[in-house]
Structure 1
Amino acid sequence: MPRRVSRHEFVQPLPQRNGIDPVALLLPLAGEDAASAAAAQPPRPTETFGARTVFEYLVNRFYPHDPAIIAARFEAHEVKDATGADVAPTAPLAGQKIWYYRELGNERKVPFDMPVLYEDEWVLAIDKPHFLPTTPNGSFVAHTALAQLRVRENNPDLIPIHRLDRPTAGVVLFAKTKDARAPFQLMFQNRRVEKSYEAVAAAVPELEPGASVQVNTRIDKTHGQLQVRQLSQEEASAQGLETNARSIVTCLKIFDLPAGILPERSTQNPALPLPSGRMTHYKLDPITGKTHQLRAHLWALGAPIAGDVLYPYALPIADDEPALPLQLLARTVTFTHPITGEDITITSHRKLALAP
């Protein structure tokens, strides 16, 4: 079936560059009382970093070691206000919002293998590989599914409807037009989507092939913390809290990992434990959608997912181990199309490296 495309007008103070949006930044008001700035609606930043002009602020806050980076942005007319007009480097800090291009760092190379699984006028589904971030985050900006797809599909309007963690592979949906974003995002927010995953991990005691167990825990994510905080149902109840994370874990097959399928130790991340011996292939059906839910739930069952660098322990930051990506795959996404009413199931074609 031919791929159908649709485009909408795209207007912003600065255009995307290689699929990457400019940075929008709300500036402080030099000389304003900090308390009144914090109480403003919306609140304005109060720290001026000793600056009184826009140029000084950007340099002092982001590039005190290399002011030429910011100077080049102004010289290239790449600092704009909300109307698209140039912002002068000598412009005073006045609580205004500006747009400019961030300086990209040296990003690690990651795979860009993103075959299209489904597409219509409104939505695009890809088969995301392991290690590729869905959206810009931290040290990855250009090397993300979003930036690369915007360029490949020649569509600056692309926006992810949901996300997968960087180590997780599988189905990810992107809205193709601005009008399509709300109905698809509401579909996910209202849990009118069924998702299934697969994972390879150690065996859960007494869970035989074909058997399932439902995991109910309390999961909370604190900003800045890598791991989630998880309480068992009993622990949550003792603290007067309700569980908010539920998954069904089904044992598909118990098998012996073939010898030689993995190196004796990881050369990229020496702290990463490499599994061996008896393993289990699982089907995972999340009922809720909390951060790291499936990883945390298998950890709670005593069977953290093979290749996990966060659970049970947050390992030191290291290069990815290509021989052992996180053995977690978003296999299917099923929903009723919010615009056409069609029932759709999208299935990943990938295979976990350790799956039998």
Structure 2
Amino acid sequence: MGANKFGGLPVRAGVSPSCVSLPGGGWPTFTDFLVQRFPDIPLAVWLQRMGDGSVVDEFGEAVTPERAYRGHMRLYYYRALPPETRIPFDEELLFQDEHLVVVDKPHFLPVTPSGPYLQETLLVRLKNRLGLDSLSPLHRIDRETAGIVLFSVQPTERAAYQDLFRQRTVNKRYEAIAPWRADIAFPRVRSSRIVEGQPFFRQAEVPGPANSETHIDVLEVSGRLARYGLSPVTGKKHQLRVHMFALGLPIVNDRVYPPQDPTPEDDYRFPLQLLAQAISFDDPFTKQRRQFSSKRRLELP
């Protein structure tokens, strides 16, 4: 029989081992492959990890520096980053039972590890705080966006919850502060085709069949700004930010839309004025109607 998940390596400080799939190829050793695959990680680091028993194959067998390469399998290892500066905002736990964890995420905190963020992510914070190594996000919101995020507690239940998002039976409600334009009629629906733009992290609208849809209404107007209600039907990356920008209504404090070169660094004084305000759905396990709302507020000046 094979090893446990992650080749038998345990979750460490809330962080699951990373995985790399091995292609067919002619590398003499696993070490040669890893050094070529991850050029930013020095050989000495891989040798130290192997000496610590922190690199294993999918069967739980340790990878040693001289072990011959074998393709079409997986290796697991612990990802390491320099000490992270704490993101100075706290998440709020709104709900927890045997099925779900619901959290009110602050601005600037990523949901899952990526790039320079590992410990300073919502998922790892929650794993450490709640002692739930199997916790898994059911959807994601942008790092810059605040508001409601759902997590599955039981690995066997995750697919059923994610099916609700795929079937578009989850009702999501966002709010945003953006310019007010009397020449644009509301409520309105924005449908367009969104694809990856340049650079890779920026999305763009292009001609072609629509793959995104957002319902937009005005909730409140104050001078040159308004508070908008946004209901996404689809879940494309940056969808709400792209749609508002395309209407000539860029969300206040958005560093990416409109494009700026170079993209400005984070400034904690100016959070993106976008909030995942509410979410509701029929729970496939409890058969109850689930409804959760953020305690955070976007205020017009």
- Normalising by structure 1, we get a TM-score of 0.78
* Distance in 1 (alpha carbons) for counterparts of 2:214 and 2:247: 12
Aligned position for 1:255: 222
Instruction: Report the 3-state secondary structure (helix = DSSP H, G, I; strand = E; otherwise coil) of the residue aligned with 1:12.
Output: helix
Change over 3 Å in CA distance of 1:288–1:30 after alignment to 2: closer
Letter in structure 2 aligned against 1:102: R
Contact 1:19 1:151 in 2 (8 A): yes
> Aligned letter for 2:239?
Q
Q: Distance in 1 between matches of 2:271 and 2:90?
A: 15
What SS is found at the alignment partner of 1:68? helix
Residue number in structure 1 paired with 2:209: 242
**If the length of structure 2 is used for normalisation, what is the TM-score?**
0.91
Does the Cα contact within 8 Å between 1:29 and 1:93 map onto a contact in 2?
A: no
Q: Give identity over the alignment, percent.
A: 36
Q: 1:282–1:142: structure 2 CA closer, same or farther, 3 Å change rule?
A: same
Matched-pair contact (CA < 8 Å) for 2:105–2:148: yes
Deviation at 1:244, TM superposition (A): 2.2
1:4-56 CA distance string (max 9 Å, x none) = xxxxxx8432111111111212234443xxxxxxxxxxxxxxxx5xxx11223
In the TM superposition, residue 90 of structure 1 has moved relative to its aligned partner by 0.6
Q: Over alpha carbons, which structure has the higher Rg?
A: 1
Distance 1:65 1:138 in 2: 14
CA–CA separation in structure 1 for the residues paired with 2:156 and 2:141: 23
1:179 Cα deviation after fit: 1.6
Residues 173-192 of structure 1 deviation map (CA, whole Å, 9 limit, x = unaligned): 00011122011011111111
- Within a 5 Å distance, the mapping from 1:322-337 to structure 2 comes to 322-337=268-283
- 1:42-57 paired onto structure 2 within 5 Å: 48=27, 52-57=28-33
Change (3 A) 1:285 1:106: same
The structure with the largest strand share of the pair is 2
Deviation at 1:87, TM superposition (A): 1.8
Distance change in 2, residues 1:59/1:86 (3 Å): same
1:164 partner letter: I
Counterpart-to-counterpart distance in 1, 2:146 and 2:154: 24
Query: What's 2:194 paired with?
Result: 219
Of the structure 1 ranges 15-24 and 169-178, higher mean CA displacement relative to structure 2 is found in 15-24
Could you say if the C-alpha distance between residues 115 and 77 of structure 1 is closer, same or farther in structure 2, counting changes exceeding 3 Å?
same
Instruction: Tell me the secondary structure at the aligned position of residue 70 of structure 2.
Output: coil
Contact 1:122 1:176 survives alignment (8 Å): yes
* Offset, 1:215: 1.5
Tell whether the 8 Å contact from 1:55 to 1:70 is kept in structure 2 after alignment: yes
**Which letter does structure 2 place at the counterpart of 1:12?**
F
What is the match of residue 111 of structure 2? 134
1:164 aligns with 2:110: no
Whether contact under 8 Å (1:141, 1:147) holds in the other structure is yes
Letter in 2 for 1:213: R
Name which of structure 1's ranges 170-179 and 10-19 shifts more when overlaid on structure 2. Answer: 10-19
Counterpart-to-counterpart distance in 2, 1:218 and 1:66: 41
Q: CA 1:28–1:343 in structure 2 vs 1: closer, same or farther (change >3 Å)?
A: closer
| 2:300 match | 355
Alignment partner, residue 37 of structure 1: none
In structure 2, the partner of 1:20 is 15
> 2:291 — aligned with what?
345
- The count of aligned residue pairs is 296
Q: What's the offset of the Cα at 1:325?
A: 0.6
Deviation at 1:104, TM superposition (A): 1.2
In structure 2, the CA distance between the partners of 1:112 and 1:89, relative to structure 1 (3 Å rule), is farther
Find the partner of 2:172 among 155, 171, 195: 195
1:116 aligns with 2:83: no
- Pairs within 5 Å for 1:198-209: 198-207=175-184
Structure 1 gap ranges (5+):
1-9, 32-47, 257-277
- Which of 240, 244, 252 lines up with 1:294 in the alignment? 240
Task: Find the aligned partners of 1:64 and 1:317 in 2 and give their Cα distance.
Answer: 23
CA RMSD of aligned residues (A): 2.1
- Whether contact under 8 Å (2:225, 2:300) holds in the other structure is no
Which segment is superposed worse, 131-140 or 169-178?
Answer: 131-140
Q: Tell me by how many angstroms 1:312 deviates.
A: 1.3
Residue equivalent to 1:90: 66
Contact 1:30 1:92 survives alignment (8 Å): no
Distance 1:230 1:158, change over 3 A: same
Partner of 1:229: 204
